[in-house]
């Protein structure tokens, strides 16, 4: 009788240990996936981050970080920034990114432009590359610029 009790307790302890191990692995994997940047509209699963963090105002300078890979034959990534007032493009600028995770050292100025002399705007950063002469969006993020 004592052997059966010890064996039953041992099996229960092993099952509990296995369950705890699965929970720990699940938490670690879940954390890893939760930390993966969202493409926020891109098809490649990559991210685009605007630095420094907002809020942004007219005339500020921002930089873009992306984890999109370098594509062969100078096909990307390309970083596009467009700003709109009432649906009309008031600023459009693009630069090439050169390596994954590269902190973009070429600034994007949030105005003024010939079409944007002041006021609030809504801006979108899009990271793209070309594939077979088609533009593919890797990541996309938007932010507001105060006037």
pLDDT at 31 over 70: no
pLDDT of res. 21: 43
**Structural contact between residues 58 and 109, judged by C-beta atoms closer than 8 angstroms:** no
Q: Please report, rounded to a whole number, the percentage of residues in the chain having pLDDT higher than 90.
A: 42
pLDDT at 115 over 90: yes
pTM assigned to the model: 0.67
Give the CATH number of domain 48-146; options: 2.60.120.380, 2.60.40.1930, 1.25.40.10, 2.40.110.10. Answer: 2.60.40.1930
pLDDT at 34 over 80: no
**Structural contact between residues 81 and 91, judged by C-beta atoms closer than 8 angstroms:** yes
Confidence of residue 102 (pLDDT cuts 50, 70, 90): low
Confidence of residue 2 (pLDDT cuts 50, 70, 90): low
Cα distances (angstroms) measured from residue 114 to each of 1, 60, 87, 89, 126: 90, 16, 16, 11, 22
Residues in the chain: 147
Confidence of residue 124 (pLDDT cuts 50, 70, 90): very high
Cα–Cα distance measured from residue 138 to residue 72, given in angstroms and rounded to the nearest whole number = 15
pLDDT at 126 over 70: yes
The rounded Cα 10 to chain-centroid distance in angstroms is: 47
Q: Say which residue the tokens 């996936």 belong to.
A: 33
How is residue 16 written in tokens? 């509990």
* Type and span of the H or E element at 33: helix 2-35
pLDDT of res. 37: 35
């Amino acid at each position: 009788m004592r052997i059966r009790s010890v064996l039953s307790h041992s099996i229960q302890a092993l099952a509990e240990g296995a369950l705890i191990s699965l929970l720990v692995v699940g938490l670690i994997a879940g954390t890893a996936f939760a930390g993966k940047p969202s493409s926020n509209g891109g098809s490649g699963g990559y991210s685009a981050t605007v630095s420094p963090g907002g809020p942004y105002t007219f005339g500020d300078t921002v930089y873009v970080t992306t984890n999109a890979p370098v594509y062969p034959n100078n096909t990307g990534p390309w970083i596009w920034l467009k700003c709109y007032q009432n649906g009309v493009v008031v600023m459009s600028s693009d630069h090439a990114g050169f390596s994954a995770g590269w902190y973009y050292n070429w600034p994007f100025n949030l105005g003024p432009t010939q079409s944007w002399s002041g006021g609030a705007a809504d801006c979108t950063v899009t990271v793209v590359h070309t594939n077979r002469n088609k533009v593919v969006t890797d990541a996309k993020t938007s932010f507001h610029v105060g006037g």
